[in-house]
Structure 1
Amino acid sequence: MKLGVFSVLFSDKNVEEMLDHVAAKGIEAVELGTGGYPGDAHCKVDELLADEQKQKDFIETIKSKGLIVSALSCHGNPLHPQKHIADEANALFDKTVKLASKLGIPVVNTFSGCPGDHEDAKYPNWPVAPWPNEFQEILTWQWEEKIIPYWREKAAFAKEHHVKIGLELHGGFSVHTPATLLRLREACGPAIGANLDPSHMWWQGIDPVESIKILGRENAIHHFHAKDTIIDQPNMNRNGLTDMTSYSDMQHRAWYFRTVGFGHDSKVWADMISTLRLYGYDYVVSIEHEDGLMSIDEGFTKAVNTLKPVMVKESIGEMWWT
């Protein structure tokens, strides 16, 4: 396994500066944003697609630092009911898949998106309760008319380009749990998998180790994020897990993100890493930082220091003791 980082953390640095900075910390892989929510500070998709020499130079620069690219990420909402928003996300996804294929990068990460509740809707609708029955009707319409048709087409497109899709299981989007990911994968094929982020499992009340088992049994983990979450139980008792309190009002939120090791200790992270290996994942653990209590560089450094000792670097060949 390799320790990586989502380079959006260092969008204030140019590509060379970012690569030097993370390599000096012992990072082995970078996940690069191509636009959408992550921005494109380190990977200009249009420029690279237009010039094969730039593609070669780009990859050579990364390799020269002893790094690989674990994934290209273009998180957005391609199912947004406002057509111009959906079209922009869709076009970026297509270009990102094409670029990943040309650069030999095996995974493109994004969100599943979330549609509205009817054809003329203006905003996404994220049903999270089975009753009143209108919510079930909305959910059925979304999956049958929007989610499955869109991702069936995109899975075929990705397969043609020898790229896997890593959908981040994230609240507010249609695919946000192991069950919803597997539902989409069953309908659309194995090109669809998870970019599994344990931080979003914790706040939904899902044990990340168990989510790894559920998805790992189906070979459905394509990428893995490392970010932590803390539950503030008194605020959870007051607000519930679907807390709408601003992320910036941390004293009153039911949960908030922390850097790795500051929500759950190293034993919990060791359990996740070991379970990933147990179920066949031998790729990149990519650090993401959204901790409101410490700077990017401090949070990044502490995450590296927590994860390095628990990473499984050398998988065993034969069980020599049996």
Structure 2
Amino acid sequence: MKLGFLTACLPQLPLEEIAAWAAGHGYEALEVATWPATGSRDFEASHLDVAAFDERAADATRALFDKHGLTLSSLAYYENNLHPDVARRAETAAHVRANVDAAALLGVETVGTFIGRHPGLSVSENLALAERELPALVEYAGERGVKIIIENCVMEGWHPDGYPGNLAYSPELWEWMFDLGFYLNYDPSHLLWLGIDPVTALKPYIDRIPHAQAKDAQLDPRARDRYGFFGRSVARTDGWDSGWWRYRVPGLGDVDWRRIVDTLYEGGFTGVLSVEHEDPVWSGDVHRVTQGLKIAHRTLSPLIVG
């Protein structure tokens, strides 16, 4: 197992600077953000231009990672593959395919994305939509030796009231997407606030987890007693503002990382554990973000056998 981080937390820095910083601070891998330079999310990062990727770009990228002794663990483009706008949905699928092509050129095993959701349809209607549209992406990736991994993020902020925007948040849905040929980019933070035990959920599925993310969550049960599980209603300013939990870097929340890492080892996981930094306390500028990454490294590195 290697410890890395997702580069999306540093959108203002070029990949060259991120790689140098990561290698200099004990990280062994990077999960590289590949959103288009102009996209739909206000915090997207574009550290590889996969839409214009070719052998020359692949050679330069491999040379950069070799120079710093790093592994490129996965390409990361987490978008809504069931977007209600059919044109947007097609654009997203095209960019997923561009990621697959780039991963194949680089010899990278995985590309990360979301299932997503059409908010105007029921869950069962969304699942039927996914079963019609998404197997073509799995087939495209498989033909090129690449696995598409789905993060189990709820993406509650995609719905104005904070309801699930990515239909991949529970073991029930994991089993459904495994049947479509997807794999899981396991992240325990989302399970914690959903009331799902992260270790219990992890154990049966490690053979379908080629890559994992490390993000923590800090719960406030007293606030939950006021707002309920679904979070703020009257005082909600946006879909992300639940009022009773928040994401943290590993070590500053309620996830039991000792048990998570031990369970991964016991199940034979040999991939990369990639820190996904979305901590509001350690955000705002490059210095604070990198301090958060240092906290995550201090928390996780003693648990990982070199």
TM-score of Structure 1 vs Structure 2, range by shorter chain: 0.7 to 0.9
> In the alignment, does 2:94 pair up with 1:91?
yes
1:102 aligns to 2:105 (yes or no) = yes
1:246 CA displacement: 4.8
Which structure has the greater CA radius of gyration? 1
Tell me what 1:182 maps to: 175
Match of residue 122 from structure 1: none
Cα contact 1:208–1:272 (8 A) shared by 2: yes
Choose from 268, 271, 295 the match for 2:259: 271
Q: Distance in 2 between matches of 1:247 and 1:32?
A: 28
Q: 1:308 to 1:248 in 2, by over 3 A?
A: farther
Map of 1:1-322 to 2, 5 A cutoff? 1-35=1-35, 37=41, 39-48=44-53, 51-117=54-120, 125=121, 138-144=122-128, 146-171=129-154, 172-186=165-179, 188-189=180-181, 192-216=182-206, 219-244=207-232, 245-246=236-237, 253-264=243-254, 268-294=256-282, 295-313=288-306
**Alpha carbons 1:257, 1:291 under 8 Å: kept:** yes
Deviation at 1:47, TM superposition (A): 2.7
| 1:16-68 deviations in Å (ceiling 9; x for gaps) | 211111111111100011115463432111232xx312211111111111001
* Aligned residues of 2:214 and 2:275 also touching (Cα < 8 A): yes
Give 5+ residue unaligned stretches, structure 1.
118-124, 126-137, 314-322
What amino acid sits opposite 1:98 in the alignment?
D
Per-residue displacement from partner, 1:246-274 (whole Å, max 9, x unpaired)? Answer: 57997x71111111101137xx2111011
Query: Percent identity over the alignment?
Result: 30
Alpha-carbon contact 1:165-1:222 (below 8 Å) kept: no
Report the Cα distance in structure 1 between the residues aligned to 2:18 and 2:73, rounded to whole angstroms: 15
Is the Cα contact below 8 Å between 1:178 and 1:214 reproduced in 2?
Answer: no
**Secondary structure of 1:76 counterpart:** coil
Q: Which moved more, 1:65-74 or 1:7-16?
A: 7-16
- Check 1:163–1:296 CA distance in 2 against 1; reply closer, same or farther (3 A cut): same
Partners of 2:93 and 2:137 within 8 A in 1: no
Counterpart contact for 2:51–2:95, Cα < 8 Å:
no
- SS at structure 2 position matched to 1:105: coil
Counterpart amino acid of residue 264 in structure 1:
D
The amino acid across from 1:56 in the alignment is D
Quote the Cα distance in structure 2 between the aligned partners of 1:57 and 1:301: 27
CA distance in 1, matches of 2:44, 2:119: 25
- Paired residue total: 283
Cα displacement (A) at 1:155: 1.4
Quote the Cα distance in structure 2 between the aligned partners of 1:87 and 1:156. Answer: 16
Change over 3 Å in CA distance of 1:3–1:34 after alignment to 2? same
Q: Tell whether the 8 Å contact from 1:247 to 1:256 is kept in structure 2 after alignment.
A: no
Cα distance in 2 for residues equivalent to 1:167 and 1:195: 5
Higher relative contact order by CA 8 Å / sep ≥ 6: 1 or 2?
A: 2
Q: Distance in 2 between matches of 1:240 and 1:214?
A: 30
Question: Aligned pair in 2 of structure 1 residues 60, 249: CA closer, same or farther (>3 Å)?
Answer: closer
CA apart distance, 1:103: 0.8
- The amino acid of 1:73's aligned partner reads A
Q: In 2, are the aligned partners of 1:231 and 1:254 still within 8 Å (CA)?
A: yes
Deviation, 1:177, is 1.1
